[in-house]
Amino acid sequence: MIGEILRITAEHVLIVAIAVGVAVVLGIPLGIYCTRNPRAGRVALRVIDTIQTIPSLALFGFLIPVPFIGGIGMRTAIVALILYSLLPIVRNTFVGIRGVDPVVRDAGVALGLTSRQLLFDVELPLAMPSIVAGIRIATVIGIGVATIAAAVGGGGLGTFIFRGVAMVDTRLILAGALPAAALALIADVVLSVVERRMIKG
């Protein structure tokens, strides 16, 4: 049993790590894009907000027939989790950069920085605490949300929870819920340390 819990916990970590990783790679550039093109940005943020309101089972229903990204198993679960993780990352990137003091930005322009230098040397470093906070939210929520992977045969700690609920077996439910709670706490502590470093640095 312990071995199985460890294996499934590792599966769970894998699902969340891939999903949040991809969401970071997609979400930060998207957040930056939103600050550069306010009109298109508003539409993009609205779409990402709307994705958040789709219930996971409905989202799976849409994804199952879709080739390449859909189907049954871990891949579909990861795709859904990426979509759910985009909101905090994109929005915090957007808000972080928009929150940079215009005086600082103007000083950069006066120093003759190019738009690219302005982004990488001024805006992104100043926005970093907000961006890391977004990643932290996405990770902690993602650890909880990833339990729904078990609804599409995607594995993870939800497997225990779904089996436990189907059988009214409290021990099985706890075998899924407790490791998930522990993972969320660990992730939160680790990322809060990173966040504090960012604020100091």
Partner 1 sequence: MKRFNVGFAGALLFLTACSEKAPIVVGSKNFTESVILGEMVAQKLESAGCKVDRRLNMGGTFVCDSAMTSGALDTYVEYSGTALEAILKQPKADVAAAYAKRGLHWGPALGFNNTFAMIVRKADSPGLLNISDLATVADRFRPGFGYEFVERPDGWNGLQHAYNLQFAKPPKTMDLGLTYKALASNEIDLIAGNSTDGLIASLGLIALNDDRHYFPRYDAAVVYRNDIDKKCGGASKALESLRGKLDDAAMRQLNFEVDGKKRDVAAVAHDALGR
Draw the binding track, 112-151, toward partner 1 (x: CB under 8 A; -: no contact). Answer: --------------------------------------xx
The correct pick among 106, 153, 186, 196 for binding partner 1 (CB under 8 A) is: 153
Tell me which residue of 5, 20, 18 sits closest to 141, measured CA to CA. Answer: 20
48 vs 175, beta carbon nearer partner 1: 175
Phi, psi of 155 (to 5 degrees): 75, -160
Residues 6+ apart with CB under 8 A from 190: none
Contact residues for 163 (Cβ-Cβ < 8 A; gap 6+) = 169, 172
Task: State the binding string over 51-90 for partner 1 (x if CB under 8 A, else -).
Answer: ------x--xx--xx----xxxx-----------------
Minimum CB separation from partner 1 for residue 60, in Å? 6
Residue-by-residue DSSP string for 68-96 = TT-SSSHHHHHHHHHHHHHHHHHHHHHHH
| Of residues 159-198, those binding partner 1 (CB under 8 A) | 159, 162-163, 165-168
Give 27's contacts (C-beta < 8 A, 6+ positions apart). 85, 86, 89, 90, 93, 134
Q: Nearer Cβ to partner 1, position 29 or 61?
A: 61
Cα–Cα distance between 197 and 160 in angstroms, integer?
36
Q: Which is nearer to partner 1, 85 or 159 (CB)?
A: 159
Q: How far apart are CB 164 and partner 1 at their closest, in Å?
A: 9
CA 68, CA 132: separation in Å to the nearest integer?
A: 30
**Closest separation between CB of residue 154 and partner 1, Å?**
8
Q: Which residues bind partner 1 (CB under 8 A)?
A: 57, 60-61, 64-65, 70-73, 150-153, 159, 162-163, 165-168
